[in-house]
Structure 1
Amino acid sequence: MKRIALILSVGALASCGADGAPWRPAANVGLSVGTGGVSTSTSVGATNGAVSVGASF
């Protein structure tokens, strides 16, 4: 039981960013008007300086 608690504690500590740079959320919303009409774009993601992860819709 102590081993499981230790593993969960280390996992929680690592996931909160305490061992490195914290992950900062990023978001972007765009609106374009052109001859084809109005179009929108959205992107969300996270970055910690060296690594960026995101998705565009």
Structure 2
Amino acid sequence: MRKTVFALFALAVLTACGVDGEPVQPTLNAGIGVGDSGVHVGGAVGLHKGPVSVFLGF
């Protein structure tokens, strides 16, 4: 739960970077996997601005 809250906070911060009108494209990827060892949840938040991309995975 703590990771989810942190990820949503990070996405909000990354989205706020585009407030000045610059073309910023935030992204959010999430997934759930089920295997022999149990259920796994993961994802990433990212920011694209021109040729630069920054991602934070969890």
Identity across aligned pairs (percent)?
38
Q: Which has the higher contact order (CA 8 A, sep 6+)?
A: 2
User: Which of the pair has more CA radius of gyration?
Assistant: 1
Greater helix content: 2
- Number of residue pairs the alignment of both structures matches: 39
For structure 1, the residue ranges without an aligned partner over 5 or more in a row are 1-14
> Would you identify which runs of 4 or more consecutive aligned residues in structure 1 move more than 4 Å?
none
CA RMSD of aligned residues (A): 1.4
Do structure 1's residue 43 and structure 2's residue 41 form an aligned pair? no
For structure 2, the residue ranges without an aligned partner over 5 or more in a row are 1-18
1:15-45 per-residue CA deviation (whole Å, 9 max, x = no partner) reads 721xxxx110100000000001000002101
